[in-house]
Amino acid sequence: MSSTDNAPAKRARSRRAEAQESVAAVTENPAPEAAPVSLFVASIGVRWRDLDAFNHVNNSIYLTYLEEARLQWLQHVPGWFDEHSMPVLAASEVNYRRPIEWPAQLQVQLFCERLGNSSITIAHRIVNADDQGLYSDGKVVLVWMDPATGKPVPLPQSIRDAAHAHA
């Protein structure tokens, strides 16, 4: 076997080593993330019916609280939907930090984490209204779709304006 037969293998190993070094450099010195932009704070009281057999708020109710907060926010945004452009929930992430017990007064804090072409990523925190103790955090992705076609449409300008108004 000649030395030229090994050249492609040596180049491939060299490229892999360079790529691994680049990945290591990026992970050691990550780029600073922009702080999420505050959008809205909703006040929500825990209802007796929200409790489960363990006498704390059922995990599924957290999603209801988040939905309520998003709808309260959207009520302040004119033109957020029409017959050709409506939001759908594309993804949700909820990290349960500690149980919510009754009675409690909550604040659901919404933050704009990312604006896309047809979507917005909204970070959220559910905290105790009295002491700001964290119950849960996470994020959701809303995508604006045309209900007739089921295809994504551009994010309404009013949503972009609302996200930038709080920056």
pLDDT at 5: 55
Q: Per the confidence metrics, is the pTM higher than 0.85? A: no
Check whether 49 has a pLDDT greater than 70. yes
Domain map (residue ranges) of the chain: 1-32, 37-165
Please name the amino acid found at residue 14: S
Q: What is the pLDDT of residues 54-82, one digit of tens each?
A: 999 999 999 999 999 999 999 999 999 99
At 164 the pLDDT is 87
**Region 33-40: what's the mean pLDDT?**
76
Beta carbons within 10 angstroms of residue 68's beta carbon:
13
As a whole number of Å, the end-to-end CA separation of the chain is 64
Taking alpha carbons only, the member of 154, 128, 131 closest to residue 143 is 154
* φ and ψ at residue 86, rounded to 5 degrees: -140, 145
Rounded CA gap, 30 and 124, in Å? 23
To which residue do tokens 């290591």 refer? 24
In sign, the C-alpha dihedral spanning 94, 98, 103, 108 is negative
Tell me what pLDDT residue 7 has: 54
Domain at 37-165: CATH code: 3.10.129.10
pLDDT tier for residue 14 given thresholds of 50, 70 and 90: low
Helix (H) or strand (E) holding 69: helix 59-74
Q: What band does 1 get if pLDDT is binned at 50, 70 and 90? A: low
- The span from the CA of 142 to the CA of 120, in Å, is 5
Q: Is 110 helix (H, G, I), strand (E, B) or coil?
A: strand
